[in-house]
Amino acid sequence: MTDEFDDLIGLLPDTRSEHAILNDVLMQCSALPRTFIYRQNTGQAWQGRPVDVPVGEYVRVTPGMKILAAARPIDFGIEGGGDAIGHRKGKAFQIETKALCGRQREAQKKFQAAWEQRGGIYILARDPRDAVNQLLSKT
């Protein structure tokens, strides 16, 4: 038995988080023939020597906290790069996923322009179906 609203499935915008959308993009794109895709992490982490401070001295330390001496940031990935990177039929592509209300940052717009000027395919997708359709049409 079909529901009277079954024909609307897929027409409504994807309201999930960017992380959830990205996971489905990776799964669906990796299932395409002649396609290789992986998650491209970007961000910042901290490195330093661990410092043991007894609870209650100078800093209140709670379980799971780490205090670092000589702390320094480590940036990884390429600023503005897509959430996923890969190639299909010999063409390089990057996919940036955004939730329904998400917007590209200025660094992402600059990266997109540089990537496309050099012949790369850049896809901005708000749902997995959109990412797959754009990838199929551009490769």
State pTM to two decimals: 0.76
Among residues 77, 82, 92, the alpha carbon closest in space to that of 135 is found at 92
**29-55 pLDDT per residue, tens:** 999 999 999 999 988 898 888 777 777
**90-115 pLDDT per residue, tens:** 999 999 999 988 999 999 999 999 99
* Cα 73 to Cα 13, 43, 64, 68, distances in angstroms: 38, 10, 20, 11
Among residues 40, 41, 136, the alpha carbon closest in space to that of 84 is found at 40
First vs last C-alpha separation in the chain: 39
Among residues 41, 35, 36, 23, the alpha carbon closest in space to that of 127 is found at 23
Average pLDDT of the residues of the chain? 88
Cα three-residue angle 58-63-67, rounded to 5 degrees: 50
Tokens of 134: 């754009």
Percent of the chain surpassing pLDDT 70: 88
